[in-house]
A and B are shown apart, each in its own frame.
Chain A
Amino acid sequence: MAMKFICDTERCIACYGCVVACKEGHHLPIGVNRRRVVIVNEGKPGEKSISIACMHCSDAPCMAVCPTKCIYKREDGIVLHDKTKCIGCGYCLMACPFGAPQFPKSGPFGARGVMDKCTFCAGGPAPTFSEQEKQLYGQNRIAEGKVPLCAGMCSTKALLAGDSEVISEIYTQRVAKRGAANL
């Protein structure tokens, strides 16, 4: 089992619903974008957009390079990190293909604070539902049995979140339906 996101680019309309849902839900500071929307060919035919966050890679490069070994993988494939251990070195950002790790400028001398990234709305290593968890990682919706905010609030249901097998099945079906309709 591995939790994953898929963004259906044919459906994504770059409404930024996922971005604000995430920020508002987890009370993120300005400048920290756990999720962002990338638009290509803006204003031209072929304009497409995609919503990107931590992809919770099965073989996460960030885990490999972290000097504090604060990034870990849960059994369900969600990649989380321990903010109390993180030192804000930035290696994870250098290793990440998606630019997922975020660094608020909060340390002394404008240094990077500790890393922040998408938690798949699964909180962090702090006790579930504790004040500390809320402060550091935001909501822990997975523990409540709820879907991540971004996918739940996606206006066109472009963003899918869940077990990779299930969502890729849905996605395949969707594309197949589209294909058949266009034959």
Chain B
Amino acid sequence: MAARKIISRKAPSGRKFTLNPKVARRSFMKIAAAVTALTGLALSGRLTKEAEAKAKKSPYSQSKIVRTICTYCSVGCGIYAEVENDVWVRQEIAQDHPVSRGGHCCKGAGAIDMVNSEKRLKYPLKRQNGRWVKISWEQAMDEICSKLLDIRKKYGPDAVHWNGSAKVSTEMAYLQRKLAAFWGTNNIDHQARI
């Protein structure tokens, strides 16, 4: 059986793994067979650059694979992130993830851009006289917190509304709710409301 052949392939992480034979029998075969075709090809040694390929199996020799989860929708697709020297160099296909099986929509296929985008916010900013001014973390947090504490003192804890997030980890969401409780208000909400 063709699918059998690929069962004990080296996982990208370097760990040996075994796919459930049932997996291969199902419609999962499609991509799996594509893998067979390609690995078969690699073994047949008919690649143009076969010799060089043998010498160096991957363009990122120092890289390691990190398993992580896509941040776009709630399907929870798996991602293999290839990291070299603390740089996310490549997004790999998590073909063995039980839910996504390597699949991504256009957003997830570009997940690497969340880290590598040049549009990322790079430092704390404050609006001053209608212009954005770069400030230090220390200054930003000091100013924000003293203002918040002033408002709390003057108007009471319910004068602050906290908007938490569905995009952070469960742990972080928990801390957000806890913070509101410790702050002394129930004025906290997040995207699940809408």
* Interface residue ranges, A against B (CB under 8 Å): 1, 3, 15-21, 23-25, 74-76, 123, 125, 127-129, 134, 139-140, 142-147, 149, 151-157, 160-163, 166-167, 169-170, 173-174
Q: Could you list 11 A-B pairs, sorted by A, with CB under 8 Å? A: A15-B106, A16-B105, A20-B110, A25-B91, A127-B49, A129-B53, A140-B49, A145-B42, A154-B31, A157-B28, A166-B37
Contacts of A144 in B (CB 8 A): 53, 57-59
A-contacting residues, B20-60, CB 8 Å = 27-31, 33-42, 44, 46-49, 52-53, 56-59
| Structural contact, B52 and A129, CB atoms closer than 8 A | yes
A129 B34 Cβ-Cβ under 8 A:
no
In the complex, B188 has a CB within 8 A of chain A:
no
Flag if B103 contacts A128 (CB, 8 Å).
no
A76-B46 in contact (CB<8A): yes
Question: How many angstroms between the C-alpha atoms of A134 and B110 in the bound complex?
Answer: 18
Q: Which of A1, A21, A160, A169 contacts B109 (CB 8 A)?
A: A21
The 7 closest A-B pairs by CB, nearest first: A162-B37, A162-B34, A152-B93, A163-B37, A16-B106, A21-B109, A128-B49
Contact yes or no, B31 A152, CB < 8 A: yes
Given contacts A76-B47, A162-B33, contact A146 B101 (CB under 8 A): no
Interface residues of B, Cβ cutoff 8 Å to A: 2, 27-31, 33-42, 44, 46-49, 52-53, 56-59, 90-93, 95, 100-110, 112-113
Decide: B93 and A153 in contact? CB cutoff 8 A.
yes
**Shortest beta-carbon distance from A177 to chain B in Å:** 9
Q: Chain B nearest CB: distance from A84 CB in Å? A: 16
Contact partner, B41, options A134, A142, A153, Cβ 8 Å: A142
Q: How far apart sit A24 and B114, CA to CA, in the bound complex (Å)?
A: 12
Given contacts A15-B106, A162-B35, 10 further A-B contacts (CB under 8 A): A15-B105, A17-B106, A20-B110, A125-B48, A127-B49, A129-B52, A129-B59, A153-B93, A155-B103, A160-B30
**Chain A residues with Cβ under 8 A from B49's Cβ?**
123, 127-128, 140, 143
Whether the pair B31, A129 counts as a contact (CB closer than 8 A) is no
